[in-house]
Structure 1
C-alpha cells in the first residue's frame, strides 16, 4: 500500500468546531428584522406570508409545505405576536391556529439568536393530549427544517424519562403535555427555564379544566414573570381568574367569530337523530353498514365503551376497517392507530374525547356522536374533526328522548345550527341476538359489556347538567339487553357530589347504614379508635374476580326497584348460577342423598336460614353461611381438610390387617402378673434367646473356617500335581489332551461359590517404564544425559525414532 493512502473512500471531515461556534450565524441581520417588525401595523390586513417581516428560513419552510395565504386568525394573531403582545385567541376548529403561534415562536427566537445549549430554553408549547402535541411538533419540524438551527424536542408521557432528561439540557423549543413537563421541572436537575421567552397554551380552555388546572399553576411557578404568553382555543372565554393565574400582561383578545355567526364552519352539515338508548347500537351498526366507503369517526363517552363496541363490531365483520383509540392504551399503540387512520381512505375509528381537540385527520367524512357530549363546547370540538380548512363534512348526533330538549337549548345558546333527521326503518337492522350469542359464548366479551354499561351509567350520573342528563328516565334494562347482557349490572352510587372529599374523610365514625351486631360493637375499643390491625383482621380475601364483578351480577331475588336504586343500598349477592333442583339419576343415588342429609341433632344446632350439607367422611355437616364456604364444595383438596381423619392399618405376615398400635385389654394384662414380673420375665426370655442365637452363630463360623482350610489343602495338592504333569509334558506327552483336561478342571473351580474360593489376586504385570532390566537402565541413562550440542540432539532424535 502506498504511503499516505488510507482505506477511507470518503473525504475526511475537518475537526468539529465548538458548539457555540457551530451555532453562530453570521447571515442573520437581526437589526433589519427588528426594524421591519417595529414598522408593522397590526391593524393593516395582511393576506400573504410574503407581506410579513419573516426570516428567510421561515419563508422557505412555509413554501415547502405550500402555505401561502393567511387564515383570518393568523392574519390577526401573527402581527401582534411578532411585536411581543400577549394574546388570547379564539377561532373555529380547523382555522389554522397552530401556525398562528408557531411562526411567532420561530421568529422571536430567531431575532434573539436563542440558539444552542448555552441559550437555554426559549419557548414552551403545552398541549392537553399527546396526540395533539405530536401533531404540533410535526408542523414545527416541517416549517423549521429549511434553515433554522433550533434544538426542538417532544416531551410527552409514555417515553423514556432518562432520554428526555439527557436531551432537555440542549433544547431551545419544547412541545409537551402538562403532567410530563411538570415532572421534569420538579425532578430534572439540569432543566433550567430562567431564560424562557415564550409560553404557548394550545386548547387553553381544556388545559385550564379541573384535570390540568393544578399542573398549570405549578408550571407557571417555575417560569420567569417576564415572558410572552399565547393562549389559543376554539372556544375561549375572557375569565379574569385564568388571566391573573397565568400572569398575562395587557393581553390582546383575538377572535375571528362574528357574534351573529355560528361557532362551527359553514361547510359542516349537522344533524341529530332521536333514538332510544336501547336502539343506539343497532342504529350505529346500520349507519356503518350504509357508509362502508366513508371515513368515520365515532365518539363514545368512556374507554370501556370504546373497547366493547370495537370488539363486538369486529366479531360481526361490518366490511370496513375498524380502529379504536382511548387514553388507557400505550403510547406506541396510540401513535400507530392515529397514523393508520390518517393514511386510510375508508375506516371507522371508535374513540373517546382524547381525539376531540386539535387533531387533524384528513378527509374525515362523518363524525358520529353516539353518546351525548357533556356540554356544547365539547360538541363543537368533536364536530371540528371534519369540515376543516373550508372542506365539506357531516356530523350526526344520537340523542335519547330525555336528552333532546335540554341539549338542543345548549346548542342554540352557542348558535350551532343543527337539523333533525329520521332513520329509515327499512334499512335499520338489529344486532341484539348476535350480541347475546357472542356474550354467551365469550365470557370476556360479556365482562367488557358489563364494565361498559357501568361506565356509561356512571358518566351520566356525574354530569353536572341535570336538565340534559336524567338518569332516572333512562331504560337501563333495555339498554343492557341491547348490549347482549343477561341483565342490567347493579351499580352502587355514592351519596353526595364531592367524591374526593368523601374519600379522604376520617373513617372513625361509621355510617348509620352499616348493620352491626352487638358482639362487634362490644369488640371495638371504647374510645372509638380503630387501628390498622383492626382493619386488617376485618379485611376479606379477594377471589380471582374482585368484588366489583360480583356486585354487577344480578340475583333472581332482587326486584327491579332495588336494581335502579341510587341511594347506595345493596342486597346480599349470590353466585351467577345456583342449583334450584336436582333430579336423581337412579334410586341408589336417592338413597345416598338421604344418607347424606343432616341428622336431627345437627339440624337443631344450625341457625335458621343457613344451608347445611353433609358429605361422606365427615361427622358434622358443613354449614354454608357465606359464598366462600359454598366454593369449598367445588374443591376436593379443601374438602379433605373438612373430613375426619382416617385410620392407618398394617398387615402381618399372614396378611391380616390390624392397627399400628394395638393396646391389650387391662384385665388380660393384670392376669399375666404385675408389670415388674412381666418385665423381668421378658428380659430373661430375651437373654436366653440371645444366648442360643450366639451359640448358633459360633458353630456356623467354625464350620466355615474348617471348610476354608480343607479347600486350601486341596488347592495346594492340585498345584503339586500340575507341576508333575508339566514335567511329564516336556517328555513328549499329548499337549492337546492336557490342555483340555486343564480347562475342565478350571471350569469346575469356577463353579464353586466365591466364599469357598480364597485365591490371591494375580499380580499386575509391570509396564514398560517399570522394568528393572538392562533396557530400562539403558533408557534411564539416555534420558539422564541431557544433550548439549546439535549432534547430541540429532542422536537423541534418531534413538527416539528407533
Structure 2
C-alpha cells in the first residue's frame, strides 16, 4: 500500500501542489448559503450602502478589500442587488460614478454560485466594449478584483494582437472581455470557440455600441448567443428605444438611472465653460492656454486623427514647456497603450486625442478637458468632459465654439441638462503662432503635407455631420482657417467640387436663363427690367431645350428648312419629303440594309455612299491610307481632321511584308487556303514529298559544290607549277625575277579566281597560340619537348669513324 501523499512518481508530490489541486475542485464552497442570502435580497424596498451589506463570496470580499473599496456609489447600490438576482438591467449614471464595478461584481458572483469553472464549463460571461483602451481597463479591474481566490479563466481579445495566440486560449476562457470586431471575428472563424452555454452578456458604453458604427457587428454577435441569458447595459447616456431592447432580447429589464432627476447630467464638481472662438483663432487660443497652464494635466479633443497629429508635431517643435502626447485610432496598439500609461502616470502633461479617448477611460487627476472642435452631439460632449471630475474630484471643461455653432450646440446641451457658462479670453495674453507655423511649413515639406491633410479631414468631418443646424460648412471661413495652419492657401477638396457640380445640375434652366439675361442687361449699363410675362405652352418649352441631340446646333445645320425656300422648293425635294413621310408611317422602318450576298464590294458601297453624301450637300474627304472616304456631317467629325491620333483609327490597318531569297515580297505570316491544301493529298504524303524534294535539292547542290572545289584545286596546282618552273629558270640563268619576267596582273587575276594568294596557302603555319588555361611556362616547356623530340628523330646512325667523332664532339659541347 502506497503511503499517503506518495504517488507513482520517483519523487513525492509537493504539499503545495496537492493543496492547489484540491482547491481547484472546491467541493466545500458555500453556494447554498449564498443562494439563500441572494433570495432574501429586496432591492426595491431596502437600501444598501456598503459592500459588506451584500451577500458576496469570500474571494470577492478579499478583492474589494485589497482594492480599498468599502462604500458603494449610487449606481452600484441600485444595480448590483438587481444583477445578483438575475435581472436584466439598463444602467445610466454620470461619468466617473463607478459603473465598471456595477457589472464586474455580478459577473463574478453569478458564475461563482453556478460553479462555472474550468475548460469543460465553456464561456460564461461576455463583456463588450467599444474601444480597445476601455476593454483593457475593464480587464485590469476584473483581474485585480478576482485574483484573490476566484478560479475563473479570464481573457482579453482586441484588435492589434496575434489572432492565433487568442484562438489557442479561447477554449479555456470562462470570462471574456473584448471589442465587437474581434469578438465577431472569433465567432465566425474560430472553430473551438463555443458560446452555447453563455450566462451573462454585458455591454459597456451601450449607447455607443448600439449606435450605427457597431450595429452590424452587434447584430451578428447576437445571432451566435443563446436567447436565455442575463443582459446588462451600462452607459452615461442610456437608450430606451424599443428597437434596441428588442434586438438584445431583454426580458422585463430594470431601468436604473440614479441621476435622472438631477438638474445636471454631469458631476456637480465639474465646472463647464465655453468660449466664442473663430475657426482661424483656435490654435492661437489653445497655444496661449497651454502656456498659461503648464503645471496642469490637460486633455484636448479634436475631430480627426490628422489634425491631432499636426497639432502635436507643430506644438512639439515650438517647445511649450510641458510634456506633449497624442493618441488616435490610426496608431498601433502598442503606441496607444504606451500613451495612456504615460498620461495616467504623469503629473503635468497635455494629451491631444480624438474621440477614441472620450469614453470610459479613467485618467487620474485630469485638471482640464479642452474640446477644441465641437462634438457631434450632446452625448459626445458628456463623455468628453467625463474624463475629469471623476469620483467627486474637481475638474474643469472648456468648449471652443465658432459663432455659427453657438446657437445650435447650446440648444442640444440645454435639452440634456448640461449647464455651460460663457467666458471670454483675455486678448492681451493671447499669442499668435501663425508666423511660426508658416516658417516651419516652409522648412519642412512633410509638416506642410500634414497640415494639408489636417485641413482636408477637418472640412470632411464638418461636411459629413448630420446636424446641419450646428455644422453648416458655408458659415466657415476656410481660407482663414488654412492660413491659421500656416498654409499659403486652402487646398482643393474633391468632394466639395463634386457637391458644387451637383448643385449646379439641380438648378433649373429657367433660373439660369433669367440670371444670364440680367447679367447681360447690367453689363450694357442699364438695370435689368422685368420682362412682361407671356403665355408659354409646353411646345414652346420643348423647342427651347438645347440638351436633346435632335435639336443640337450641329444637327440644325444639317436640317433643311422648307419655309426659307418658299415656292422655290423643287419637285425633287417634295418627292423626297413624301417618301420620308411614307417611311415614317410604317410600323417597322428599315434603318440599315446588310446585303446577304457579296455582290458589291465594300469599296463600291463606300463610293456610292460618298456620292450620295455629296448629292445631299455634305463634305466628303478622301484620307490617304483609308479605303473608305470620311463624310463630314457635323462639327465633331470636322474636328477629327485636326487630330492625327484619331485619324489613325479611321485608316486601314497596315500589313507587314518580308522579302524571300529571290526578292519576292509577301506577308510575314501567309496561311494557305485549306481547300488547296487538302486537294494535294494527306499531310503525311505531303511531308514525304517535301522531304524527297529537299533531299534532291541538297544532293544537286552537293555535286555543284564538289565540282567547284575540284576546279579550285586544279587551278591552284597549275599556278604552283608555273611558279616553280619560273624559279628554276631564274636559278639556272642567275637572273632575278622582277616585273619584266612575270606578269603581275595575270598573277593577281589568278589569285582572285582561286579565292586566295598562293603565298598564304604555301606559307608555313605559324606558332600555335596558347589556350586561355595555359601559362607561359607550360608553353615554353611544350616547345622544348618538341625540339628535343625533333632532334631525336633527326639523329642518324653513324656509319664511319668521322661520323662517330662528330657525334662525340657534339655531345661534349
* Contact 2:273-2:423 at 8 Å conserved across structures: yes
What's the Cα RMSD here?
A: 3.7
SS of match in other structure, 2:458: helix
Partner of 1:35: 36
Shift of 1:20: 9.5
Deviation, structure 1 residue 112: 0.2
Tell me the equivalent position of 1:614: none
Query: How do 1:651-666 and structure 2 match up within 5 A?
Result: none
Whether 2:88 is the aligned partner of 1:86: answer yes
d(CA) in 1 for partners of 2:334 and 2:485?
A: 30
Residues in 2 aligned to 1:175 and 1:14: alpha-carbon distance in whole angstroms: 35
Cα distance, 1:289 vs. partner?
Answer: 1.0
Superposition deviation, residue 696 in structure 1: 1.0
The structural deviation recorded for 1:422 is 1.1
**Which of the numbers 747, 751, 772 marks the counterpart of 1:688?**
751
Preserved contact between residue 77 and residue 89 of structure 1 (Cα < 8 Å)? yes
Aligned partner of 1:486 in structure 2 is: 488
Q: Is 1:434–2:436 an aligned residue pair? A: yes
Which residue in 2 is equivalent to 1:289? 291
Over residues 198-217 of structure 1, what are the superposed CA-to-partner deviations in whole Å (9 max), with x where a residue is unaligned? 00000000000101011111
**Distance verdict in 2 for CA 1:404–1:692, change over 3 Å:** closer
* Cα distance, 1:689 vs structure 2: 2.9
**Contact 1:20 1:116 (C-alpha < 8 Å) held by counterparts:** no
Q: Which residue of 2 aligns with 1:236?
A: 238
Would you say the 8 A contact 1:198–1:228 is kept in 2? yes
CA spacing shift, 1:233–1:701, aligned 2, 3 Å? same
Shift of 1:11: 8.3
In structure 2, list runs of 5 or more residues that go unmatched: 1-10, 503-546, 555-642, 646-746, 768-786
Q: Distance in 2 between matches of 1:187 and 1:714?
A: 93
| Deviation of 1:725 (Å) | 5.9
What is the TM-score with the length of structure 1 in the denominator?
Answer: 0.64
Q: Secondary structure at the match of 1:88?
A: strand
Contact kept, 8 Å, 1:203 with 1:232, in 2: the verdict is yes
8 Å CA contact 1:321, 1:346 repeated in 2? yes
Q: Take 1:251 and 1:368, find their aligned partners in 2: how far apart are those partners?
A: 37
Q: Return the alpha-carbon distance in structure 1 between the equivalents of residues 458 and 101 of structure 2.
A: 37
1:451 aligns with 2:453: yes
* Residue 160 (structure 1) aligns with: 162
Residues 182-235 of structure 1: CA deviation (Å, up to 9, x unaligned) = 111111111111110000000000000101011111111111111100000000
Distance in 1 of aligned mates of 2:375 and 2:59 = 43
Q: Which residue of 1 aligns with 2:129?
A: 127
Evaluate the alpha carbon distance shift between residue 702 and residue 490 of structure 1 in structure 2; reply closer, same or farther with a 3 A threshold: closer
Aligned equivalent of 1:248: 250
2:305 is matched with which residue? Answer: 303
- Whether 1:352 and 2:415 are equivalent positions in the alignment is no
Corresponding residue for 1:598? none
Give secondary structure in 1 for the equivalent of 2:91.
strand
| Counterpart-to-counterpart distance in 2, 1:447 and 1:149 | 54
Tell me if the contact between 2:462 and 2:473 (Cα under 8 Å) persists in the aligned partners: yes
Contact 1:299 1:370 in 2 (8 A): yes
Change (3 A) 1:113 1:476: same
> Partner residue of 1:341?
343
Structure 1 CA distance for aligned equivalents of residues 459 and 393 of structure 2 = 36
- Measured in 2, the distance between the counterparts of 1:14 and 1:686 equals 120
2:366 counterpart of 1:364: yes
Shift of residue 694, structure 1, vs aligned partner? 4.4
When residues 726 and 460 of structure 1 are mapped into structure 2, their CA distance, relative to the original with a 3 A threshold, is closer
Q: Structure 1 residues 299 and 336, CA, compared in 2 at 3 Å: closer, same or farther?
A: same
| Cα offsets for 1:665-707 (capped at 9, x unmatched) | xxxxxxxxxxxxxxxxxxx978623748442135432999xxx
Q: Would the aligned equivalents of 2:89 and 2:231 in 1 still touch at CA under 8 Å?
A: yes
Q: Distance in 2 between matches of 1:703 and 1:359?
A: 97
For the residues of structure 1 that align with 2:230 and 2:278, how far apart are their CA atoms? Answer: 50
Describe the superposition over 1:66-95 as per-residue Cα deviations: whole angstroms up to 9, x where unpaired: 001000000000000000000000000000
CA distance in structure 1 between the partners assigned to 2:435 and 2:178 by the alignment: 46
SS in 2 for 1:272: strand
For residues 192-271 of structure 1, what are the structure 2 equivalents within 5 Å?
A: 192-271=194-273
**Other-structure match for 1:793:** none
1:701 matched to 2:703:
no
Q: Distance in 2 between matches of 1:12 and 1:47?
A: 47
Q: Aligned ranges for residues 720-731 of structure 1 at < 5 Å?
A: 724=808
Q: Cα distance, 1:17 vs. partner?
A: 8.6
CA distance in 1, matches of 2:242, 2:303: 31
TM-fit CA distance, 1:720: 7.5
Map of 1:395 onto structure 2: 397
Q: Distance in 1 between matches of 2:480 and 2:235?
A: 39
Please give the alpha-carbon distance, in whole angstroms, between the structure 2 residues aligned to 1:469 and 1:293: 34
Structure 1: 5+ residue stretches without partners: 1-9, 500-511, 519-621, 625-683, 729-741, 743-802
Secondary structure in 2 matching 1:493: helix
Per the alignment, residue 150 of structure 1 pairs with 152
User: Aligned equivalents of 1:330 and 1:340: distance in 2?
Assistant: 16
Aligned to 1:603: none
The two structures have a TM-score, normalised by structure 2, of 0.63
Conserved? CA contact 2:751–2:758, under 8 Å: no
* Residue 336 (structure 2) pairs with residue 273 (structure 1): no
| Higher percent of residues as helix | 2
Matched residue of 1:701: which SS? coil
The 5 A counterparts of 1:53-64 are 53-64=55-66
Q: Return the alpha-carbon distance in structure 2 between the equivalents of residues 56 and 517 of structure 1.
A: 92
- Alpha-carbon distance in 1 for matches of 2:165, 2:48: 42
Aligned equivalents of 2:804 and 2:484: distance in 1?
113
Please give the alpha-carbon distance, in whole angstroms, between the structure 1 residues aligned to 2:811 and 2:418.
Answer: 137
- CA distance in 2 between counterparts of 1:727 and 1:458 reads 110
1-structure distance, mates of 2:766, 2:56: 125
**Per-residue displacement from partner, 1:626-674 (whole Å, max 9, x unpaired)?**
xxxxxxxxxxxxxxxxxxxxxxxxxxxxxxxxxxxxxxxxxxxxxxxxx
1:517 to 1:408, Cα distance in 2 relative to 1, 3 A: farther
Per the alignment, residue 25 of structure 1 pairs with 26
Is the CA contact 1:268–1:387 (under 8 Å) kept in the aligned structure 2? yes
Question: Could you tell me how far apart the structure 2 residues matched to 1:323 and 1:355 are?
Answer: 12
Instruction: Determine the structure 2 residue equivalent to 1:112.
Output: 114
Distance change in 2, residues 1:692/1:51 (3 Å): closer
| Alpha carbons 2:751, 2:757 under 8 Å: kept | no
Match of 1:472 in 2: 474
**Aligned pair in 2 of structure 1 residues 696, 493: CA closer, same or farther (>3 Å)?**
closer
Give the deviation of 1:311 after TM superposition.
1.0
Number of equivalences: 546
Q: How does 1:335-734 map to 2 (within 5 A)?
A: 335-493=337-495, 688-689=751-752, 691=754, 693-701=756-764, 724=808
Mapped to 2, the partners of 1:113 and 1:375 lie a distance apart of 44
Residue 137 of structure 1 aligns to a residue in which SS? Answer: helix
| 3-state SS in 1 of match to 2:271 | strand
Bigger Rg, which one? 2
Q: Deviations over 1:516-561 (max 9, x none)?
A: 999xxxxxxxxxxxxxxxxxxxxxxxxxxxxxxxxxxxxxxxxxxx
Helix, strand or coil: the match of 1:170?
coil
Distance 1:686 1:480, change over 3 A: farther
Q: How far, CA to CA, are the matches of 1:173 and 1:119 in structure 2?
A: 11
